[in-house]
Amino acid sequence: MFIYSIKGNTLKLLGIIAIAVVAVIVLLIALPSENTVMAGSIFEGSDTVNYDRIKTDDSRREFLRQFGWETEESAVEEVEIRIPEDFDRIMNSYNEVQKSQGLDLSKFKGKTAMRYTYSITNYPDYSGTVYANVIIYKNRVIGGDICSADVEGFIHGFEMPKSEKSDK
């Protein structure tokens, strides 16, 4: 037969551990998930930007509207892409654009995702063709950009340029 006795100090230790576990659980529940980014710096006028439940063409266009973008009715292109296992210089540079907007493609290395491309109709102070690329993995936006189709063009995150924000 095995008998085990517990001292008062052991009970105190177990109590402290239980309180610590409960505190961690409460913090995990109370903190915002990584699926919703605090967007004070990303999008003025809203507290959060929703990156989840992006399943349809309408939800993808609504996602872009959170940043102030207006698009054509349907995607110009829908293509399956594979996030590379190893990032080269160009992919690292593109991922820096993602990191600047709270996203990180390195978490999805080797995964297959969908890229939806939309034509932007309200880009400020620019008359050329502008596209929005939205990269979706399991109904969640994991990356994307706003870019021009010109050779000497530009690429940046989803945020509307400052000049347009000040005009609103």
**Segment 23-81, tens digit of pLDDT:** 666 655 655 444 444 443 343 444 588 999 999 999 999 999 999 999 999 999 999 99
Task: Please identify which residue in the block is written with the tokens 């006028």.
Answer: 45
Question: Tell me, what's the pLDDT at 120?
Answer: 97
Helix (H) or strand (E) holding 131: strand 130-137
Question: Tell me, what's the pLDDT at 11?
Answer: 63
**Segment 103-155, tens digit of pLDDT:** 999 999 999 999 999 999 999 999 899 999 999 999 999 999 999 999 888 99
Q: What is the pTM of this model?
A: 0.70
| pLDDT of residue 3 exceeding 90 | no
CA distance 12 to 148: 64
Paired sense of beta strands 48-50 and 77-82, if any: unpaired
